[in-house]
């Protein structure tokens, strides 16, 4: 067992930035493992559906063995009253064997002044993480490149900043790809440009991830760029359809009492991707996902020339919907 400092029984991470949330929580989980964590429970806290009393009962039960259990509780929006009360009870029972990682979205001053938040944060290690501001982004990229032992020329860093435009997850993926393709060599503008220009499918994945994360404006901006670069819309539609079908399946499973986490448990997806899908499913009711599935079938015929309409406009409307913007009702092709 590692001799690293004992972590706090309660860790709270607050941010709206997926990459910062993922990296901070991964470090906490890794630290718990080095200290002998035997089990990690993942709780996708869905208001009105999750059984908080059952979780409280499980956490309150004593084990005959000194087992370290980390309960990873994830919120996509600020907890409502039932969850607030449950969190206070759970945190009061936290100890070295019964630990909690609580993931919260950005909270305003009023929310952080409430009794429930003060109660859970009083003896917790709290990390409130903010993405770099626009003028700090290039330096953030530079520091990440240094950490990854990448030799990127200043102009190339500037171009990478332009391409990713403050999208931290996309920036990290680009740096990872550069490290894989150009190890131990100076990286110039041409090499930075090559990782996006020679792989349109890679960029499409980023676009859809933005929509799943609720960043409709970013996703649509990327879509417009694809159109300008004459990327075949079929390459976008195929992947869009897959994401929508996955969300629809998870939403239908929810009607049968299966949590999103359980529905995605056997899928070969990164944990960060699962979180994006869970967040998207929670934004829209199953009936809307059903409509989107039907719409994708219509768009498949459209892109093949079997139906009339503006395929780029139709894909844009789907991205807005995927991001949680209720645009149905506007005039679209039929």
For the segment 284-318, what is each residue's pLDDT rounded down to a tens digit? 999 999 999 999 999 999 998 899 999 999 999 99
DSSP H or E segment with residue 102: strand 98-104
Instruction: Determine the average pLDDT of the residues in 246-263.
Output: 89
Q: What is the separation, in whole angstroms, between the first and last Cα of the chain?
A: 63
What distance in Å separates the CA atoms of residue 240 and residue 223, rounded to the nearest whole number?
Answer: 12
| Rounded distance between C-alpha atoms, residue 99 and residue 7, angstroms | 9
Of residues 23, 3, 2, the one with CA closest to residue 13:
23
Which residues are CB-contacts of 250 (< 8 A; sequence separation ≥ 6)?
260, 263, 264, 277, 278, 281
- Helix locations, 93-213, DSSP H: 109-112, 115-121, 137-147, 154-164, 168-181, 189-197, 200-212
Instruction: Give the residue carrying structure tokens 């989980």.
Output: 29
Q: Using alpha carbons, select from 284, 332, 328, 330 the residue that is nearest to residue 308.
A: 332
* Dist CA 254 CA 285 (whole Å): 10
Instruction: Give the per-residue pLDDT at 201.
Output: 44
272 versus 103: the higher-pLDDT residue is 103
Measure the CA dihedral 257/70/118/84, to 10°. Answer: 10
pLDDT of residue 317: 94
pLDDT in tens, 127-153: 999 999 878 889 999 999 999 999 999
Contact assessment for residue 325 and residue 214, using Cβ atoms and an 8 Å cutoff:
no
Please list, in sequence order, all residues whose beta carbon lies within 8 angstroms of the beta carbon of residue 90, skipping any fewer than 6 positions away: 55, 56, 59, 71, 73, 100
Q: What is the pLDDT of residue 205?
A: 81
What is the set of domains in the chain, with CATH numbers? 10-128 (3.40.50.300), 134-198 (1.10.8.60), 217-322 (1.20.272.10)
Residue 75 to residue 14: CA distance in whole angstroms: 10
Residue 186: pLDDT band by 50, 70, 90 thresholds? very high
pTM over 0.75: no
pLDDT of residue 6: 60
Q: Tell me, what's the pLDDT at 233?
A: 92
In this model, does residue 332 exceed pLDDT 60? Answer: no
Query: What six digits make up the tokens of 278?
Result: 């869970």
Of residues 293 and 204, more confidently modeled? 293
User: Other C-beta atoms within 10 Å of 224: how many?
Assistant: 11
pLDDT the model gives residue 318: 95
pLDDT averaged over every residue in the chain:
85
pLDDT in tens, 113-123: 999 999 999 99
Q: What CA–CA distance (Å, rounded) separates 285 from 265? A: 21
Strand partners, 10: 100
The pLDDT of residue 58 is above 80: no
| Residue of 303, 324, 301, 318 lying closest to 245 (CA atoms) | 318
Tokens read off for 4: 């690293």
* Statement: residue 161 has pLDDT above 90: no
Question: What was the pLDDT predicted at 158?
Answer: 87
The Cα–Cα gap between 207 and 318 comes to 12
Looking at residue 230, its pLDDT comes to: 85
Q: Is the pLDDT of residue 47 over 70?
A: no
């Amino acid at each position: 067992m590692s001799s690293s400092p004992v972590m706090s029984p309660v860790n709270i991470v607050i941010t709206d930035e997926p990459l910062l949330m993922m990296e901070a929580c991964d470090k906490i989980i890794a630290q718990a493992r080095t200290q002998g964590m035997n089990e990690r429970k993942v709780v996708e806290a869905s208001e009105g559906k999750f059984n908080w009393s059952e979780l409280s009962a499980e956490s309150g039960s004593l084990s005959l063995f000194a087992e370290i259990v980390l309960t990873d509780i994830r919120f996509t929006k600020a907890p409502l009253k039932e969850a607030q009360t449950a969190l206070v009870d759970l945190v009061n029972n936290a100890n070295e064997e019964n630990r909690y990682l609580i993931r919260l979205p950005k909270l305003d001053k009023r929310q952080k002044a409430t009794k429930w938040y003060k109660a859970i944060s009083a003896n917790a290690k709290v990390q409130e993480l903010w993405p770099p501001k626009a003028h700090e982004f290039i330096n953030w990229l530079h520091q990440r490149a240094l950490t990854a032992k990448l030799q990127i020329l200043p102009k190339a860093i500037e171009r990478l900043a332009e391409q990713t435009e403050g999208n931290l997850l996309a920036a990290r993926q680009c740096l990872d790809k550069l490290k894989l393709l150009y190890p131990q060599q100076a990286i110039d503008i041409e090499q930075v440009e090559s990782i996006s220009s020679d792989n349109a499918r890679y960029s499409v994945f980023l676009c859809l991830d933005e929509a799943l994360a609720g960043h409709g404006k970013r996703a649509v901006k990327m879509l417009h760029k694809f159109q300008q670069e004459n990327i075949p819309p079929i390459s976008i539609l195929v992947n869009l359809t897959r994401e929508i079908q996955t969300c629809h399946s998870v939403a239908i499973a929810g009607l049968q009492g299966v949590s999103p986490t359980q529905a995605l448990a056997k899928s070969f997806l990164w944990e960060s991707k699962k979180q994006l899908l869970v967040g998207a499913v929670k934004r829209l009711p199953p009936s809307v996902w059903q409509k989107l599935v039907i719409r994708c079938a219509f768009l498949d015929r459209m892109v093949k020339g079997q139906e009339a309409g503006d395929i780029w406009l139709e894909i844009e409307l789907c991205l807005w919907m995927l991001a949680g913007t209720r645009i149905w009702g506007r005039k679209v092709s039929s």
